[in-house]
């Protein structure tokens, strides 16, 4: 059987449903070539944080200031830096686009609407195929309601979408009172895709040093449950909003599960972070499963286990706590531990 892994995501034609998510290596051409050769459908450029850009600029200015006025004729030993920092990324993205064929999606995060729009326009000019708005943040204003926070986020997204012509996707956290309603609102402002879900830093305390630690962590088995449920409950065959599953997708079978509930594509990071060539193994696993189950293309099984196509699953999708159904406890534990 001829297996066709190609799929459409936000109007972009991808050769496979596997997207390499933003990580420390997705701005390095050697890694991007490995991902492309392994069969990835697209890659997300390492997130551009305005906060980091401004910090780097400040450090650069301080460094240059140390060497000012070395003699009566020299004001500085280096030319002043006139750009805002985003230009460095724009140059790199432009060069990357010349060397890879798969779509390059650029992730970015800013601190105010003006900057969101400026960054979006600059990234679009670089030749990026799409934008990924990283909306992850922790609200600190105790007087601001959840509705106000969401409205501010929607205004950011709307401003970015209206300022560019390339497709825009949004990465959100799972912490919304009604995440499906928020997805509807994103669709209303013409967002083309949404990534479910981004991860916050792992917050912990080092008891030996009496110090708080906040650091990134790799996904683990079972962490994909929330994305599965949300994608499956929201998926609509006629909806223009492409759903992207993210977090806890570690194998080809994990990818298949998410497509079965309605994901257009999946984003992976942890599974390939230390083994970039593992992407080819994941692709092969998807192909083998499709062949075994007589599916020749992704659309053949996309959304088959969604709530929309299985009304009898509505109760299951909305069940959030264990209910005593008189099942033998030992049998229940066996199923949980498998």
Report d(CA 140, CA 128) in Å as an integer.
Answer: 33
104: left (phi over 0), alpha (psi -120 to 50) or beta: beta
Most confident by average pLDDT, 53-57, 62-66, 240-244: 240-244
Average pLDDT, the chain: 88
**Which of 233, 227, 276 lies closest to 255 in space, CA to CA?**
227
What average pLDDT does this structure show over 300-316? 91
The pLDDT value recorded for residue 311 is 85
Report d(CA 106, CA 127) in Å as an integer.
Answer: 10
Residue whose structure tokens are 């593992």? 278
Alpha carbon 84 to chain centroid, angstroms: 25
The pLDDT value recorded for residue 56 is 58
> Could you tell me if 78 and 86 are in contact, meaning their C-beta atoms sit under 8 angstroms apart?
no
Task: Please count the other Cβ atoms lying within 10 Å of the Cβ belonging to residue 51.
Answer: 10
Lowest-pLDDT choice from 33-37, 61-65, 113-117, 227-231: 61-65
Question: Are β-strands 211-215 and 242-246 bridged in parallel, bridged antiparallel, or unpaired?
Answer: unpaired
The pLDDT value recorded for residue 329 is 62
Give kind and range of the element (H or E) at residue 170: strand 168-172
Burial (Cβ within 10 Å: 0-12, 13-18, ≥19) of residue 285: middle
- Show me where the domains of the chain are located: 7-49+96-337
Condensed to tens digits (0 to 9), the pLDDT of residues 202-215 reads 888 888 888 888 88
Is the previous residue joined to 197 through a cis bond, with omega within 30 degrees of 0? yes
Report d(CA 164, CA 152) in Å as an integer.
Answer: 19
CATH entry, 7-49+96-337, from 3.30.565.10, 3.60.110.10, 1.10.510.10, 3.20.20.70: 3.20.20.70
The more confidently predicted of residues 211 and 171 is 171
Give strand pairing partners of 171. Answer: 134, 195
> Could you tell me if 292 and 45 are in contact, meaning their C-beta atoms sit under 8 angstroms apart?
no
What average pLDDT does this structure show over 52-56? 70
């Amino acid at each position: 059987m001829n297996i066709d892994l190609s799929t459409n995501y936000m109007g972009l034609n991808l050769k496979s449903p596997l997207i390499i998510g933003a990580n420390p290596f997705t701005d390095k051409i050697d890694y991007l070539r490995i991902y492309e050769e392994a069969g990835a459908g697209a890659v997300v450029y390492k997130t551009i944080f305005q906060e980091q850009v401004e910090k780097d600029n400040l450090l650069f200015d301080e460094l240059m200031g140390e060497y000012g006025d070395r003699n009566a004729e020299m004001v500085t030993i280096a030319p002043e830096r006139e750009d805002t920092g985003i230009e460095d990324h724009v140059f790199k993205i432009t060069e990357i686009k010349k060397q890879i064929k798969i779509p390059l999606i650029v992730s970015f995060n800013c601190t105010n609407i003006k900057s969101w729009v400026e960054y979006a326009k600059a990234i679009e000019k670089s030749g990026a195929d799409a934008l990924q708005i990283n909306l992850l943040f922790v609200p600190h204003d105790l007087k601001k309601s959840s509705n106000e926070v969401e409205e501010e986020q929607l205004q950011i997204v709307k401003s970015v979408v209206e300022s560019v012509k390339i497709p825009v996707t949004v990465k959100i956290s799972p912490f919304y009172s009604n995440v499906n309603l928020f997805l509807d609102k994103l669709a209303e402002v013409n967002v083309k895709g949404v990534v479910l879900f981004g991860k916050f830093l792992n917050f912990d305390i080092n008891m030996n040093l009496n110090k708080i630690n906040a650091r990134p962590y790799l996904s683990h088995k079972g962490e994909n449950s929330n994305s599965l449920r949300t994608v499956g409950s929201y998926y609509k065959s006629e909806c223009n909003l492409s759903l992207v599953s993210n977090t806890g997708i570690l194998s080809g079978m994990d990818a298949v599960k998410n497509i079965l509930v309605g994901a257009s594509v999946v984003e992976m990071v942890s599974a390939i972070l230390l083994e970039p060539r593992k992407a080819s193994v994941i692709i092969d696993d998807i192909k083998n499963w499709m062949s075994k189950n007589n599916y020749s293309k992704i659309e053949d099984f996309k959304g088959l286990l969604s709530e929309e196509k299985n009304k009898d699953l509505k109760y299951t999708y909305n069940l959030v706590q264990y209910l005593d159904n008189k099942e033998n406890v030992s049998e229940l534990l066996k199923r949980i531990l498998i």
